[in-house]
Homo-oligomer: A and B are copies of this chain.
Amino acid sequence: MSWSSATAKPERRPLEVTANERVGSYRLLRVHDPDGGCAPGQFAMLAAEQHWGGGQDERPFLPRALSVARHRGGEAHFLLEDVGPGTSRLCELAPGERVFSVGPLGRGFRPPQPGRRALLVGGGVGIAPLMILQDRLAAATRALLGFRDGERARAAELMLDVHVATDDGSVGHRGTVAELLRRELEEDREAEVFACGPGPMLEAVRALCSQLQVPAQLALEAPMACGFGACFGCVVPARDGSYLRVCVDGPVIDAEALGEVGEYAGAPA
């Protein structure tokens, strides 16, 4: 089994929005994208065709990076959390409106190493790339998902075999998803972790996996201007002291290759 990263067309494509549904605190946006297809973990740079700008503080201006959460039936799905002017505009898109899309971009997840079961660990809207990953994994895969509260935790219904943790204990385990992960790994270390979520969560996952010597692939996030390696804006420090561009060297990067995961390298908290 192997997923090859798809190559994007070298221009923004106007794609039509086909649906926009509420899922707890999030929005599941669907766009018509027949050419599509992508590896789990790849992302697209999206901007509304109309009214991109003129929001809070006269923004947005640059496109926004969004993980492809699903690709099926000629549609790409995105899971969105409204955290600022860009996501706010994308969250209000109505069917029939169009988005400019550049993608799919970046290096996605590699299949788990032979003999290791995949364990998906997501935090908040960071579950997006895990959705498509779970779709692509042959066997059912356990997903450990952490959310701030119950409203957000409703997004857990988008995945299968889920164990939930919430900060406020309103659903599932009260505490962090890293605690759930520790339990799982203490039972069975023959796992490979696939994680995406806020910086502190990713750092906890990285540290834990490093300690328990479990391989982990982390889907990072970073403030991005371009998404295709042009601006050198999205770097995170690698273990060897160099900088990696999240958009072309990632977004999925082996935990081993990374230094500490910083505050800005994760999904919205």
- Point out residues on A near B: beta carbons under 8 Å: 50-55, 58, 60-61
Contact = CB atoms under 8 A, between A and B. Distances in A.
Contacts of A60: 54
A49 to B, nearest CB: 10
Contacts of A54: 50-55, 60
A52 B59 CA distance: 11
Contacts of A58: 53, 61
Contact of A55 (B51, B55, B61): B51
**9 closest A-B pairs by CB:** A53-B54, A54-B54, A51-B51, A53-B53, A51-B54, A52-B54, A53-B58, A51-B55, A54-B55
Contacts of A51: 51, 54-55
Contacts of A53: 53-55, 58
A58 B60 CA distance: 11
Nearest to A52: B54
A52 B51 CA distance: 8
A54 B85 CA distance: 12
Nearest to A85: B54
A50 B50 CA distance: 13
A50 B88 CA distance: 12
Contacts of A52: 54
A194 to B, nearest CB: 36
Nearest to A58: B53
Contacts of A61: 58
A54 B52 CA distance: 5
Nearest to A48: B54
